[in-house]
Amino acid sequence: MIAVIDYGVGNLFSLKSSLAAIGAKALVTSDPELIKSADRIILPGVGAFEDAAEKLSSAGLAKLVISEAKKGKPILGICLGMQLLFEKSYEYGEHKGLGLIKGAVRPLEGAIPESLKIPHMGWNALKIKDKACPLFKYINDGDFVYFVHSYYATECDEAVTATADYGVPVTAAVASGNVFGCQFHPEKSGETGLNILRAFCETEG
C-alpha cells in the first residue's frame, strides 16, 4: 500500500486516479500509523514552500517522513513535494526543508534567459542523466512530461537523474538511495507519467 500524504496542500484527485489506473493500492492519509504501515510514501504538494513546510511540520509528519526515509522506505516527492526533500529553499526568504537530499531550491527568475516565461509551464522533454534510476525503467530519454513551477532545485548534482532544457538545464528528477523526486507532475504526464508511477511502485525499499 502507498500512503499519499495529505497535509492540506494541493489537489490530489489526479494523483489518486492515476495510481488507481495503474492498479496501485493507495490511501490518501495524514494518519501516522497508516503512513508507518505503508510500503511506500508519496509526498505531493502545490503552492508555497514555507506554508507547505509549516503544515507538514505542525501535523507532525515532517519528522515521520524523515524517519521512514531513513528506515529505507521508498519515498517519492512530486513538484513542491520534491522541493521539500531538499535542505532549504529560497522562496520568499530562507526556509528549512526535510534535508533528505543535499541541495537548495532557488527561483528560476534570474537563472533563465529573460525571454522565457515564468512559471516554467507545459510539456518539456526529459534529458535522462542516470539511465539506471529505477523510476526510468519504462521510459526513454526525450519523453515528455508536464511541468508547472517557478523555483527549481540547485546544488544537487549528485542526486540529479534527469533535467529539462529551459534556457538552462532545470532539475527534473532526483534520487538519493530510496528517496526520489519529480519536479514535473507524473499524474498529468500521460502514459510517460503513468510509467514513472508504475516504476516507483516496483522500487525496492
Partner 1 sequence: MITKRIIPCLDVKDGRVVKGVNFKGLGDVASPVELAKYYSENGADELVFYDITASAEGRKLFTDILCETAKSVFIPLTVGGGINTVADFDRVLKCGADKVSVNSGAIRNPALVYEAAKLYGDQCVVLFADIKRVDGVFRVFAKGGRENTGMEAIEWIKRCVDSGAGEVVVNSIDTDGVKKGFDLEMLEKVSDAVSVPVIASGGAGCTEDFITLFNTLPKVDAGLAASIFHFGEVKINDLKAQMAKNNIPVRLER
Q: Cα–Cα distance between 199 and 159 in angstroms, integer?
A: 18
Is there a contact between 99 and 106 (Cβ–Cβ < 8 Å)?
no
Strand partners, 126: none
Residue 20 contacts partner 1 per CB under 8 A: yes
Is there a contact between 170 and 183 (Cβ–Cβ < 8 Å)?
yes
Residue that has been written with the C-alpha cell 493507495 in this structure? 26
Closest approach, Cβ 35 to partner 1, in A, equals 23
104 or 118: CB nearest partner 1: 118
Going by C-alpha positions, the residue among 185, 149, 144, 177 that lies closest to residue 161 is 177
Residue 165 contacts partner 1 per CB under 8 A: yes
Selecting among 95, 120, 149, 185, the annotated active-site residue is: 185
Q: Pattern 23-62, binding to partner 1, x per CB under 8 A? A: -----------------------xx---------------
Q: Cα–Cα distance between 116 and 31 in angstroms, integer?
A: 42
84 or 100: CB nearest partner 1: 84
Q: Cα–Cα distance between 53 and 199 in angstroms, integer?
A: 27
- Stretch near partner 1 under the rule CB under 8 A, chosen from 27-35, 50-58, 65-73, 137-145: 137-145
Residue 79 annotated among the catalytic residues of the structure: yes
User: Which residue type occupies 100?
Assistant: L
**Residues known to be catalytic:** 79, 185, 187
Site of interaction with partner 1 (CB under 8 A)? 11, 13-14, 17-18, 20-21, 46-47, 117-125, 140, 143-144, 146-148, 165-166, 187-191, 193-194
